[in-house]
Amino acid sequence: MIVPEPCLRRLPWYLAYASLTRAKGERSLSSTQIARGVGVDASVVAKDLSYVAVTGRTRVGYEIDQLVGSLEDFLGFSVIHKAFLFGVGKLGGALLQDGGLERFGLDIAAGFDSKYELSGTSIHRTPIHHISRFKELQELMHVEIGVLTVPVDVAQSTAELLVEHGIKAIWNFTPVRIQVPDNVVVQNTSIYAHLALMYNRMG
């Protein structure tokens, strides 16, 4: 199901809010409470949650455990998605350190880098290989997600290598607009672009 992007951007807020509320010992949560908690119109919350297979009850609202579970399922956080990471520099290394990604369904099975001195090392139990071994490991593992944290000058060529070997989705942390076939999903997470947005709105 194709869910509107603004809705997909809000659902994680509801999940975070529901998880926090649960941690405080609450058992149920109404869409009005969620709306107040995250600062979004109650009608928007109700509409967003209508995409998620969860039903609330009048006056009681949603049962929190069920709401959290349904949101996690819907957002894809409760299924493990295997990924490879390309470019074990500062950012790539930090993502491998961050065990937090696994809680959100992303399991980085291996990292690749062109620096020979990194081959055979590991970060937080994730092995690092030379990029020349990607093809061989991909033939064994059929990973669908590539996390792209390479330097800008090799972003496009690395993206092409990934696509050539069957990667279906690229999580692009570089500021480069990579060009790939239409059937490949690209998720851009350029923190520098976000900085520019923030500076501009600070006026």
Site residues for its own copies per CB under 8 A: 2-3, 5, 8-13, 15-17, 19-20, 23, 37-40, 75-77, 81, 90-91, 93-94, 97-101, 104-106, 144-145, 152-153, 168-169, 171, 174-177, 179, 185, 187, 189-202
φ, ψ (nearest 5 deg) of residue 188: -85, 125
3-state SS, one letter per residue, for 93-155 = HHHHHCCHHHHCCEEEEEEEECCHHHCCCEECCEEEEEHHHHHHHHHHHCCCEEEECCCHHHH
User: Are 51 and 10 in contact, with CB atoms under 8 Å apart?
Assistant: no
CB 50, min distance to its own copies, A: 16
CB 69, min distance to its own copies, A: 15
Q: How many residues would you count in the chain?
A: 203
Give the angle subtended at the CA of 189 by the CAs of 164 and 135, to the nearest 5°: 20
CB 37, min distance to its own copies, A: 8
Choice between 67 and 145, CB closer to its own copies: 145
Choice between 59 and 79, CB closer to its own copies: 79
CB 58, min distance to its own copies, A: 26
Choice between 57 and 124, CB closer to its own copies: 124
